[in-house]
């Protein structure tokens, strides 16, 4: 049974039973709280909330929906689709549970000859809310379901509400048993892959006053009229009735997948990676078709950005499948042909739809060609420096210069095992204009600096003497000032210096650069950084503390001995930690990046999930056992081929010369390619104290630790803290955890009680506040100074006031917070918004009067400032703005 036929049967069934057939609302529905329509009940929301009187008592529809939160999961699972269709039947104070259950049972299990769907009754299971005895009884009486196929679940699974105060109620979900090949027996509570949910019946019967979570809310009482809201996933029913495994293989999607596979020269079902990409293409093509059909055009914000992202993911997925030619002209017509039976308008409007889509593909293909090359360079650069994260600057460059959206950079970086500094990217976006000027200046200086480095490198490499000595006689080969070669550098300046030879270690291989001084007659330089901007050239960044430095001057380069000892301990500690991870977790836990400096190390490694407390303890134990064994540490130069032959570990993605340095600790226990400085025996590391473990990207984890004396100091601080707590709490150290746990539980209980009392106190004022409503040409204005009320309580107060006046055009402005930081919340009713009043605009007026900023949606917005003395003026400013608006 094709999807269009299932759709027709659903609508016909309910039309024959007195339901008004309501056409699907456009995906761009006029609801300020939604980007797109994301549920079948959205067009009926005003009827359920009581904001509008329904023009009919019962209705049915097949609603187009788009959900964007799961875009990353599309193609990876059988359930996540961007565009989907929700079949629904609705009752507004007409029939209730018994009739809804009867209708659903008949349509699901009735014969196909009678216009129903023909599912085997023996495959049907249902769930009900644990306390809904009535629904459980009705399923047994109406459908004849045995008790074992009527399962009870909690609020999280079987209660529905909108996430805000308003209507809610228990629900009953209908599942189909797909058979033992899909999972274990036992119903939905055991396995929701085998037992697939197809329909949710919501029995809307209660008024909610406060909603804190899916399963945490307060009820006022019963609704004056009980309503029915159901949602049947059309795609899920289709793939069950069509005998395929997932929603991507139904008749409305699979033709695109089949053609995409043909273009790529691959078979669907042959390789998992290819299948995921093909499913992404099938889903996104259909979603883009429907979005453009409903008026969305590609852009950089909100709805346009979602569409642009879908089209670009399609093109990129095809490129990953090896197709570099344009593809939308092949695939979009197939999607239109598959969807036209249900939505004839896509065929009628195909010229416009295709024109928009093809233009976006052309633009992105140009972007992809240039941007991918830059991205690949960025990845190679990051890996060559043993970094696991692309900088915010790199991500910004890809976006600003090459049009790469950040989500594409995130995806491509993840494929390379790298994270992206999203925080840095966002900051640069905020400062885009200033950054553009600074970036141009930086590039100019960098270009000049590169030329200076090249000239100095032409005179030879910089020999590194630091493996065998910390003090080296040398000579100044060159001075670089603002990217230009200079003959001198005066006292107080910060410049770059290249020596003929140096004991200073340049930052590389994860090891931070050395610290120390460079001296000559009457000259003293502090070394603040050491880098290798050009292969073979070591450049010291120095502050001239005394005298004047001259090119060609003889100098004495001296590394800080304590710094170098700490650096050696940290770098050797990193090797020890790497060996310990592989010892505990196995040989696949390979290093993917590191950073170490005196007293501290961090190491990134390949691993799919977080480490338990026991595993972290085992890794720390293995590392310190390796230190305790006083393993010999040696460094040997050998051909790269020989190093690989003896099993020396290399950092993935790093490039090496033909002659490499192999550092060993206890022979095979730790054998790695490494150019860093190390202790001579593992016992000289002293101690490694693991600080924590976290995720830094897909399949990459990070451990951090203190090393040497810093590890001892850290443990001493921990011991002092424990002793202080045991003394304060009058318990023994082994009793401390239990005592603190009990105290935390008591504190949380007290905080909940206080919050409940505070909320009651705040809401007790609502009636008196509402009584002071000021009418302004048909719009009620409620301006209130709620002294001392802040945070969520202020928002709750505004929402509660709005619920009391929801039937009239009203604006609520409440200001609370503290004297130092006043807060403001503005809420509007639907009638006020109809009169052109926007909460986001009004909250900005109030916040600016308070000396701050604010913003939000049309219906609810918040902000704040720093001048509580202006609260009366802020309330008056909002009042004035309302009057000006409603009179104009």
- Evaluated on CA atoms 576, 577, 579, 580, the torsion sign reads positive
Q: What length does the chain have? A: 888
Distance CA 372, CA 391 (A): 16
Give residue 699's pLDDT: 54
For residue 55, count CB atoms less than 10 angstroms from its CB and return exposed for 0-12, middle for 13-18, buried for 19 or more. Answer: exposed
Q: What percent of the chain has pLDDT over 90?
A: 61
Distance CA 90, CA 102 (A): 14
pLDDT, mean of residues 738-750: 91
pLDDT, mean of residues 744-755: 85
Distance CA 813, CA 880 (A): 13
Neighbours of 873 (CB within 10 A): 13
- Residues whose CB falls within 8 Å of the CB of residue 665, separated by 6 or more in sequence, listed in order: 572, 575, 576, 579, 626, 631, 632, 633, 671, 682
Q: List residues bridging with 546 in a β-sheet.
A: 524
Distance CA 36, CA 287 (A): 12
pLDDT, mean of residues 1-24: 95
Give residue 94's pLDDT: 95
Distance CA 85, CA 238 (A): 11
Average pLDDT for the chain: 89
How confident is the model over 710-734, as pLDDT tens digits? 999 999 998 999 899 999 999 998 8
Cα torsion 286, 292, 296, 298 to 10°: value is 80
Distance CA 436, CA 615 (A): 47
Give residue 645's pLDDT: 87
pLDDT band for position 443 (50/70/90)? Answer: very low
For residue 751, count CB atoms less than 10 angstroms from its CB and return exposed for 0-12, middle for 13-18, buried for 19 or more. Answer: exposed
Residue 458 has pLDDT above 90, yes or no: no
- Residue 66 phi/psi, 5° resolution? -135, 130
| H or E, element range at 599 | none
| H or E, element range at 228 | strand 216-233
Give residue 329's pLDDT: 95
Distances from the Cα of 173 to the Cαs of 128, 157, 369, 382, in angstroms? 7, 9, 48, 50
From 3.10.620.30, 1.10.10.410, 2.40.30.130, 3.40.50.10420, which CATH number describes the 454-554 domain? 2.40.30.130
Q: List residues bridging with 723 in a β-sheet.
A: none
Q: Find out whether 884 is annotated in a ligand binding site.
A: no
Distance CA 162, CA 169 (A): 10
Distance CA 846, CA 876 (A): 9
**Of 22-26, 408-412, 458-462, 558-562, which range is least confident?**
408-412
Distances from the Cα of 868 to the Cαs of 783, 797, 817, 848, in angstroms? 15, 19, 9, 12
How confident is the model over 471-480, as pLDDT tens digits? 999 999 999 9
Distance CA 18, CA 13 (A): 9
- Evaluated on CA atoms 57, 60, 61, 66, the torsion sign reads positive
Distance CA 207, CA 777 (A): 31
The secondary structure of residue 247, as a DSSP letter, is: G
Residue 365 has pLDDT above 90, yes or no: no
Give residue 653's pLDDT: 39
Distance CA 780, CA 832 (A): 9
Give residue 432's pLDDT: 62
Give residue 88's pLDDT: 96
Question: Residue ranges of the alpha helices (H) in 321-403?
Answer: 328-339, 345-348, 350-384, 392-402
Q: Find out whether 575 is annotated in a ligand binding site.
A: yes
Give residue 398's pLDDT: 80
Neighbours of 475 (CB within 10 A): 13
Strand order in 670-673's β-sheet?
633-639, 659-665, 670-673
Q: What percent of the chain has pLDDT over 70?
A: 94
How confident is the model over 543-556, as pLDDT tens digits? 999 999 999 999 99
Give residue 197's pLDDT: 95
Locate the DSSP E strands across 712-829. 774-776, 779-785, 810-817, 822-828
pLDDT, mean of residues 124-150: 96
Give residue 560's pLDDT: 96
Fold of the domain built from segment(s) 564-715: 3.30.980
Residue 445 has pLDDT above 50, yes or no: no
For residue 349, count CB atoms less than 10 angstroms from its CB and return exposed for 0-12, middle for 13-18, buried for 19 or more. Answer: middle
pLDDT band for position 654 (50/70/90)? Answer: low
Task: Give the CA count within 13 Å in the CB-facing half-sphere of 384.
Answer: 12
DSSP-based three-state secondary structure for 141? helix
Give residue 5's pLDDT: 96
Residue 448 has pLDDT above 50, yes or no: no
Helix 133-142 / helix 97-109 crossing angle, nearest 10 deg: 40
pLDDT band for position 434 (50/70/90)? Answer: low
Q: List residues bridging with 550 in a β-sheet.
A: 488
Residue 425 has pLDDT above 90, yes or no: no
Distances from the Cα of 854 to the Cαs of 827, 850, 862, 868, in angstroms? 13, 10, 6, 15
82, 320 in Cβ contact below 8 A? Answer: no
Give residue 50's pLDDT: 72
Q: Which CATH class is domain 765-887?
A: alpha beta
Q: Find out whether 80 is annotated in a ligand binding site.
A: no
pLDDT band for position 700 (50/70/90)? Answer: low
pLDDT, mean of residues 789-802: 87
595-624: burial string, b at 16+ Cβ within 10 Å, e else: bbbbbbbbbbbbbeeebeeeebebbbebbb
256, 21 in Cβ contact below 8 A? Answer: no
Distance CA 826, CA 868 (A): 17
Q: Find out whether 19 is annotated in a ligand binding site.
A: no
Q: Which CATH class is domain 3-243?
A: alpha beta
Distance CA 704, CA 595 (A): 9
- Evaluated on CA atoms 137, 141, 143, 146, the torsion sign reads positive
Put simply, whether the predicted model's pTM sits higher than 0.85 gets the answer: no
Give residue 760's pLDDT: 77
pLDDT, mean of residues 797-823: 92
- Residues whose CB falls within 8 Å of the CB of residue 766, separated by 6 or more in sequence, listed in order: 797, 800, 801, 804
Cα torsion 704, 709, 711, 712 to 10°: value is 180
């Amino acid at each position: 049974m094709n999807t269009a036929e299932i759709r027709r049967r659903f609508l016909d069934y309910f039309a024959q039973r007195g339901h008004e057939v309501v056409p699907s609302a456009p995906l761009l529905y006029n609801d300020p709280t939604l980007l797109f329509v994301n549920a079948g009940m959205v067009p009926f929301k005003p009827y359920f909330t009581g904001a509008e009187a329904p023009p009919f008592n019962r209705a049915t529809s097949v609603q187009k929906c788009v959900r964007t939160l799961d875009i990353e999961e599309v193609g990876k699972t059988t359930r996540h689709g961007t565009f989907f269709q929700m079949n629904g039947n609705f009752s507004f104070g007409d029939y209730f549970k018994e009739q809804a259950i009867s209708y659903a049972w008949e349509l699901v299990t009735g014969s196909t000859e009678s216009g129903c769907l023909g599912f085997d009754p023996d495959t049907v299971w249902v769930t009900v809310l644990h306390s809904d005895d009535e629904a459980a009884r009705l399923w047994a009486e109406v459908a004849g379901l045995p008790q074992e196929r009527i399962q009870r679940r909690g609020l999280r699974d079987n209660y529905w509400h909108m996430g805000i105060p308003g209507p809610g109620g228990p629900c009953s979900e209908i599942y189909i048993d797909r058979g033992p090949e899909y999972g274990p027996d036992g119903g939905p509570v055991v396995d929701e892959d085998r037992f697939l949910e197809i329909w949710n019946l919501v029995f809307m019967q209660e008024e909610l006053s406060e909603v804190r979570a899916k399963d945490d809310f307060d009820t006022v009482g019963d609704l004056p009229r009980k309503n029915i809201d159901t949602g049947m996933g059309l795609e899920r029913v289709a793939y069950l009735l069509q005998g395929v495994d997932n929603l991507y293989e139904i008749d409305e999607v699979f033709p695109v997948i089949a053609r995409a596979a043909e273009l790529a020269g691959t078979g669907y079902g042959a390789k998992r990676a290819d299948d995921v990409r093909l499913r992404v293409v099938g889903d996104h093509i259909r979603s883009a078709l429907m979005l453009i059909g409903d008026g969305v055009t590609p852009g950089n914000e909100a709805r346009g950005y979602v569409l642009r992202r879908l089209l670009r993911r399609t093109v990129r997925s095809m490129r990953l499948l090896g197709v570099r030619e344009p593809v939308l002209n092949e695939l979009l017509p197939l999607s239109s042909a598959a969807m036209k039976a249900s939505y004839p308008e896509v065929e009628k409007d195909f010229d416009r739809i295709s024109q928009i889509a093809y233009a976006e593909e052309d633009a992105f293909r140009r972007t992809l060609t240039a941007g991918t090359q830059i991205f690949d360079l960025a990845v190679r650069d990051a890996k060559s420096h043993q970094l696991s994260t692309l900088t915010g600057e790199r991500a910004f460059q890809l976006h600003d210069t090459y049009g790469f959206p950040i989500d594409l950079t995130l995806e491509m970086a993840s494929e390379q095992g790298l994270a992206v500094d999203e925080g840095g990217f966002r900051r640069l976006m905020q400062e885009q204009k200033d950054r553009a000027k600074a970036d141009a200046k930086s590039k100019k200086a960098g270009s000049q600096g590169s030329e200076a480095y090249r000239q100095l490198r032409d005179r030879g490499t910089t020999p590194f003497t630091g493996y065998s000595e910390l003090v080296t006689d040398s000579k100044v080969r060159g001075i670089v000032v603002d990217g230009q070669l200079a003959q001198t550098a005066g006292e107080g300046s910060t410049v770059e210096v290249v020596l003929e030879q140096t004991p200073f270690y340049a930052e590389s291989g994860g090891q931070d650069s050395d610290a120390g001084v460079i001296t000559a007659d009457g000259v003293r330089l502090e070394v603040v950084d050491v880098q290798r901007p050009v292969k073979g050239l070591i450049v010291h960044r120095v502050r001239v503390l005394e005298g004047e430095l001259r090119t060609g001057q003889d100098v004495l380069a001296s590394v800080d001995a304590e710094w170098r000892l700490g650096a050696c301990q940290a770098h050797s500690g990193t090797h020890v930690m790497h060996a310990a991870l592989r010892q505990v977790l196995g040989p696949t836990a390979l290093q993917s990046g590191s950073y170490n400096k005196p007293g501290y190390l961090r190491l990134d490694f390949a691993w799919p999930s977080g480490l338990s407390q026991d595993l972290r303890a085992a890794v720390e134990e293995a590392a310190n056992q390796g230190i305790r064994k006083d393993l010999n540490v040696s460094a040997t130069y050998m051909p790269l081929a020989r190093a690989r032959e003896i099993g020396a570990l290399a950092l993935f993605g790093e490039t090496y010369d033909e002659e490499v340095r192999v550092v060993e600790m206890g022979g095979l226990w730790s054998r790695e390619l490494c150019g860093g400085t190390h202790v001579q025996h593992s016992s000289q590391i002293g101690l490694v104290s693991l600080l924590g473990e976290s995720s830094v990207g897909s399949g990459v984890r990070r451990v951090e630790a203190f090393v040497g004396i810093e590890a001892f100091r850290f443990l001493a601080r921990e011991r002092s803290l424990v002793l202080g707590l045991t003394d304060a709490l009058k318990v023994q150290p082994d009793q401390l955890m239990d005592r603190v746990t009990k105290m935390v539980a008591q504190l949380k209980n007290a905080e909940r009680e206080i919050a409940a009392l505070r909320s009651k106190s705040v809401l007790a004022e609502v009636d008196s506040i509402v009584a002071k409503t000021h009418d302004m040409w048909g719009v009620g204005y409620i301006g209130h100074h709620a002294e001392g009320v802040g945070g969520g309580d202020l928002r709750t107060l505004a929402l509660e006031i709005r619920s009391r006046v929801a039937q009239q055009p009203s604006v609520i402005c409440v200001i609370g917070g503290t004297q130092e930081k006043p807060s403001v919340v503005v809420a509007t009713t639907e009638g006020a918004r109809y009169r052109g009043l926007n909460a986001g605009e009004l909250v900005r007026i109030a916040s600016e009067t308070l000396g701050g900023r604010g913003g939000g949606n049309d219906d609810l917005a918040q902000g704040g400032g720093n001048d509580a003395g202006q609260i009366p003026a802020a309330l008056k400013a909002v009042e004035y703005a309302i009057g000006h608006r409603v009179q104009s």
